[in-house]
C-alpha cells in the first residue's frame, strides 16, 4: 500500500473509531439524560400512553385518568374535588409539566421507577397494560373538607398535623384552582393556566406551605416556651415583673396592648389568656435575641421543611436589638411563618415537647398495592421539656376555656389554643391577618390533632377581624372532624 493510500485508510479508521465512541457515548453514558430531556417527544408520548397511578386518601383515589380529546398523548390526568386537593396533589399537565406530589413521585406514578422493573417486565409477557404505582397519603378527607369549607370564599390556609407522628391530616389553601382544567395540551388548558397565574388572588399559591405571614400573638406560645426553657419563669401563675406602660428598650415608645386589659405584672398564664403584648415583649427582651433564637430554631424556624413538598422557611431574625427582639417576640417586626410551621409549634406543645417531622406520604405502592416504601415517623427535635410543655398546655387550655379562644371549645374534648391578629403593611395600614392555633385532647389524654389557621379577609370590617372570631371556628371544625374519625 502506497503512502497516500495508507494515510487515507488511517484517517477513515479514525473517523469510524470516533463514530463508534460517539454512538456508545450517546447510547450508554448520555442515555438517561436524553431519555429525560423535556424536548424528547417520544418520552412524552410514552409518558401519557397509559393511565397514571393514583394519589390515595382514605383508601380512595382523588385522581384519575381519561383519554385525551386529541393529539398523540393518549391519556390525561383528572382530579376529584380538584380545588380542595390541589395544595396536596399539585398538577400534572401535558403542556406545563407537573409540581408538588405529582412531580416528586412522578416515577412511581408513571411506572418508570426502578422498583417497578419487575411489574414492567411481567407486563411484556402477560400482555397487561403498563400501569403506574400509587401514592398513599396521610391526609384525612373529613378534615380536609372541613378546612376547605371553613375557609370558603376568604383567602387563607389551614394545616393540621397528628402530633404523635407528624402525619399531615389536612392542608388547605384558598382561593384554589382545579388542576383538571390545565391537565391537557389544548389552547384552553394553556389559557386556563394563564388566567390562574394572572389572578391577583393567586389561586395557584400554596398558602399552607409557601406563604409566610406575621404570626401575631400566636407566636407568644413560642416566647412562653423560651421563658420556661431558659428558666426566666418557672411558675406560670406567679406575677411577672411587667410594668404598665412598658417602654421598648433603647426607644422613646411604649409597647401598647390591645384595649384596657389586666397586663400589669400579669402571670404568664393570664398574660396568654388576655394576650398581653407588654408581658411577652418584655420576656423576649429579657431573654435576648440569642436565647429566643435557640428556642425558635428548635421549633423549625429559619429552615425549609420537606413534607416531601418544599415548605418555605419561617423567619426569626438572628441579629436584633432589644426593641426588635421584643416586637419579634409578639409575632411582629420581621417574624414571619407558614401555617405549617405554626401547626408544628402547636403539635410539639401537644406532644409533651417532642416535635415529630411532618410528612404527608404514608406509602408508595405498586399497581397491585404491594408496599414499595413506607414512611416511619421520626423525631425532629425536643423544643421544650415534658414538664414545660404541660405547663404551656395548661396556659393554652385556659385561653380556650376562659379567654379569647372560647369559640374553639368542643364538647367531650379538652382544647388548647391561642388567637392572633397580625398587623402588617406600612404603618400597619393593611387589614390584619386572623390566626388561631390549637390542639384537641381526647378523654384518655392523647392529642390526635394540632391545627393552624390563618385568614386574610379583605372584605371584613377591620374591627371585626380577630383570630377568635374568624379563625377559631375553622380550627374547631377541623379538630372535630379528626376526633369524630377516631370514634
Just list the catalytic residues.
Answer: 217
DSSP string, 189-253: HHHHHHHHHH-TT-TT--TTTT--B--GGGGHHHHHHHHHHTTS---TTSPP---SS-BPTTSS-
Distance (Å, whole) CA 176 – CA 145: 13
366 contacts 179 by C-beta, under 8 angstroms: no
Could you tell me which residues come within 8 angstroms of residue 125 by beta carbon, excluding any fewer than 6 positions away? none
Q: Residue 450's Cα: distance from chain center in Å?
A: 13
Q: What is the DSSP string of 290-304?
A: HHHHHHHHHTTTTS-
DSSP per-residue letters across 353-412: TPEEPPB-EEEEE-TT--EEEEPPP-EEE--S-HHHHHHHHHHHHHHHHHSTTGGG--TT
C-alpha count within 13 angstroms, C-beta hemisphere, residue 369: 5
Alpha-carbon distance 58 to 136, whole Å? 8
Tell me which residue of 62, 18, 47 sits closest to 111, measured CA to CA: 47
Round to whole Å and give the CA distance between 100 and 27.
31
Q: To the nearest 5 percent, what fractions of the chain are helix, strand and coil?
A: 40, 20, 40
Cα angle, residue 213 at apex, residues 256 and 391 outer, rounded to 5°: 65
Q: Which three cell numbers stand for residue 69?
A: 380529546
Q: What are the helix (H) ranges across 29-140?
A: 31-35, 41-47, 82-89, 100-104, 106-110, 117-126
The secondary structure of 243-279, three-state, reads CCCCECCCCCCECCCCCCCCCCCCCHHHHHHHCCHHH
Q: How is residue 323 written as a grid cell?
A: 426593641
Give the strand pairing for 134-137 and 55-57: parallel
- Which has the closest alpha carbon to 217: 168, 259, 172? 259
Q: Which of 349, 362, 357, 351 is nearest to 140 (CA)?
A: 362
Amino acid at each position: 500500500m502506497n503512502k497516500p493510500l495508507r494515510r487515507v485508510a488511517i484517517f477513515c479508521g479514525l473517523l469510524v473509531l470516533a463514530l463508534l465512541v460517539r454512538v456508545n457515548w450517546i447510547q450508554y453514558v448520555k442515555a438517561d439524560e436524553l431519555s429525560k430531556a423535556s424536548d424528547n417527544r417520544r418520552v412524552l408520548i410514552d409518558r401519557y400512553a397509559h393511565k397514571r397511578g393514583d394519589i390515595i386518601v382514605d383508601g380512595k383515589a382523588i385522581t384519575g385518568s381519561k383519554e385525551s380529546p386529541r393529539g398523540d398523548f393518549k391519556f390525561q390526568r383528572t382530579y376529584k374535588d380538584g380545588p380542595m386537593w390541589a395544595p396536596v396533589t399539585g398538577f400534572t399537565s401535558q403542556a406545563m409539566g407537573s409540581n408538588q406530589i405529582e412531580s416528586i413521585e412522578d416515577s412511581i406514578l408513571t411506572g418508570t421507577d426502578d422498583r417497578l422493573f419487575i411489574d414492567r417486565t411481567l407486563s411484556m409477557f402477560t400482555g397487561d397494560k403498563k400501569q403506574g404505582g400509587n401514592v398513599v397519603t396521610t391526609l384525612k378527607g373529613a378534615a380536609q373538607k372541613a378546612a376547605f369549607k371553613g375557609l370558603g370564599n376568604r383567602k387563607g390556609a389551614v394545616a393540621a398535623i397528628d402530633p404523635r407522628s407528624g402525619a399531615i391530616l389536612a392542608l388547605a389553601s384558598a382561593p384554589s384552582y382545579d388542576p383538571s382544567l390545565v391537565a391537557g395540551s389544548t389552547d384552553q388548558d394553556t389559557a386556563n393556566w394563564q388566567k390562574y397565574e394572572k389572578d391577583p388572588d393567586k389561586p395557584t399559591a400554596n398558602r399552607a406551605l409557601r406563604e409566610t405571614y406575621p404570626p401575631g400573638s400566636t407566636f407568644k406560645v413560642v416566647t412562653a416556651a423560651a421563658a420556661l426553657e431558659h428558666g426566666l419563669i418557672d411558675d406560670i401563675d406567679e406575677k411577672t415583673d411587667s410594668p404598665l406602660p412598658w417602654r421598648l428598650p433603647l426607644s422613646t415608645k411604649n409597647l401598647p396592648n390591645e384595649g384596657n386589659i389586666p397586663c400589669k405584672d400579669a402571670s404568664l398564664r393570664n398574660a396568654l389568656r388576655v394576650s398581653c403584648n407588654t408581658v411577652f415583649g418584655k420576656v423576649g427582651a429579657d431573654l435576648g435575641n440569642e436565647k429566643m433564637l435557640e428556642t425558635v430554631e428548635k421549633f423549625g424556624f429559619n429552615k425549609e421543611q420537606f413534607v416531601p413538598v418544599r415548605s418555605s422557611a419561617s423567619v426569626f431574625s438572628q441579629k436584633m436589638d432589644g426593641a426588635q427582639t421584643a416586637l419579634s417576640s409578639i409575632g411582629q417586626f420581621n417574624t414571619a411563618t407558614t401555617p405549617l410551621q405554626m401547626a408544628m409549634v402547636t403539635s410539639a406543645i401537644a406532644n409533651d415537647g417532642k416535635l415529630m417531622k411532618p410528612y404527608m406520604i404514608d406509602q408508595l405502592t405498586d399497581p397491585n398495592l404491594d408496599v414499595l416504601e413506607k414512611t416511619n415517623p421520626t423525631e425532629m427535635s425536643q423544643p421544650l421539656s415534658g414538664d414545660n410543655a404541660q405547663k404551656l398546655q395548661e396556659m393554652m387550655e385556659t385561653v380556650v376555656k376562659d379567654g379569647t379562644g372560647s369559640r374553639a371549645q368542643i364538647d367531650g374534648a379538652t382544647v388548647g389554643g391561642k388567637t392572633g391578629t397580625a398587623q402588617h403593611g406600612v404603618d400597619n395600614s393593611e387589614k390584619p391577618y386572623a390566626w388561631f392555633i390549637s390542639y384537641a385532647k381526647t378523654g384518655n389524654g392523647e392529642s390526635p390533632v394540632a391545627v393552624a389557621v390563618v385568614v386574610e379577609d379583605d372584605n371584613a370590617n377591620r374591627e371585626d377581624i380577630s383570630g377568635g372570631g374568624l379563625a377559631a371556628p375553622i380550627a374547631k371544625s377541623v379538630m372535630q372532624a379528626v376526633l369524630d374519625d377516631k370514634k
